Structure 1
Amino acid sequence: MTLPALLDIEASGFGRGSYPIEVGLARPDGSSCAFLIQPLAEWTHWDPKAELLHGISRARLQREGYPLRQVAQWLNDELGELKICYSDSWGYDNTWLSLLFHHAGMLPAFRLEALRKLLSEEQLMLWKPTKEALIEELGILRHRAGEDARLLQLTYQRTRELAGEA
């Protein structure tokens, strides 16, 4: 079974003024990676509750983050041939992805779609307990973009198997 490419974004908070701070990708071959994003000077919104979730400080982003243009280029290089990538939080992730590309002065070479479009009714019913079982089983660190993207991909794969669709 070919796995869908899955993207996850961690952000400075939610809603107005928030911006992407980490982009993670789970590739069709099952490998995953992530990049921290250096915030622009005008990106000042910072929600301490979001930091508690992902554990990434603004100081760390400034130290270790990659420039927007580099992250946007990496995403285009990774996803351009696939043409499509999926997210479980399409509303948020699409907004943050658009912000990233806009400020990088680039256009995405791929489309972001809602993961839900790929799921059967049976997979949707199995999703939450399967995801929780995988977190427990594999000791996955949550709210880091690369790990979350891979968790979504593994959950997709296992729910297909459980639903007899693999």
Structure 2
Amino acid sequence: MTLPTLLDIEASGFGRGSYPIEVGLARADGSTCAFLIQPLTEWTHWDPKAELLHGISRGRLQREGYPVRQVARWLNDELTEPGIAYSDSWGYDNTWLSLLFHHAGMLPGFRLEALRILLSERQQALWSHTKELIIREQGIHRHRAGDDAHLLQLTYLRTLALAAGA
């Protein structure tokens, strides 16, 4: 079985003025990767509450982040072949992805879709409980893009098996 490619984005905050600070993928083969994004000069919004969640400081992004264009190019390299990635927070992630590509002066070579379109009603009913169980079992560090994408993929697999009665 081919796993869906999952994408997760961490951001400077929520709402107006927020921007992507980290993007992570869980690939179809189960491997994961993530990149910090160097904020552009005009990206000034910073929510200290968001920083408490993801633990990434603006200073760290400036030191260790990759330029916007490089991250957009990497995403296209990774996702053009599958052509699609899924997100559990499509509304936010799609907005931040659009912002990233706009500022990179590029178009995405893939679509981002809502993860829920892949889930049966049974999987949706099992989702929250299963996700929390996996977090506890595996000690997953939440609110880092690569780890969250991996968690979504694991939750997808487990709910699929449970829904099938395995």
| TM-score normalised by structure 2 residue count | 0.99
Partner of 2:83: 83
1:25 aligned to 2:30? no
Q: Do structure 1's residue 110 and structure 2's residue 110 form an aligned pair?
A: yes
Other-structure match for 2:132: 132
Question: Which consecutive aligned stretches of 4+ in structure 1 deviate over 2 angstroms post-superposition?
Answer: none
Number of aligned residues: 166
Q: Distance in 1 between matches of 2:29 and 2:126?
A: 23
Gaps of 5+ in 1: none
| Counterpart-to-counterpart distance in 2, 1:136 and 1:33 | 22
How far apart are the structure 2 equivalents of 1:165 and 1:12?
Answer: 40
3-state SS of 1:133 partner:
helix
For the pair 1:44 / 2:50, whether they are aligned, the reply is no
State the alpha-carbon separation in 1 of the partners of residues 60 and 97 from structure 2. Answer: 21
Alignment root-mean-square deviation, CA: 0.9
**CA offset at residue 74 of structure 1?**
0.4
Partners of 1:36 and 1:47 lie apart in 2 by 17
Who is 2:62 aligned against? Answer: 62
Q: Could you tell me which runs of 5 or more consecutive residues in structure 2 were left unpaired when the two chains were aligned.
A: none
Q: Residue 152 of structure 1: CA displacement?
A: 0.2
Give the aligned residue type for 1:145.
Answer: A
Q: CA deviation at 1:165?
A: 7.4
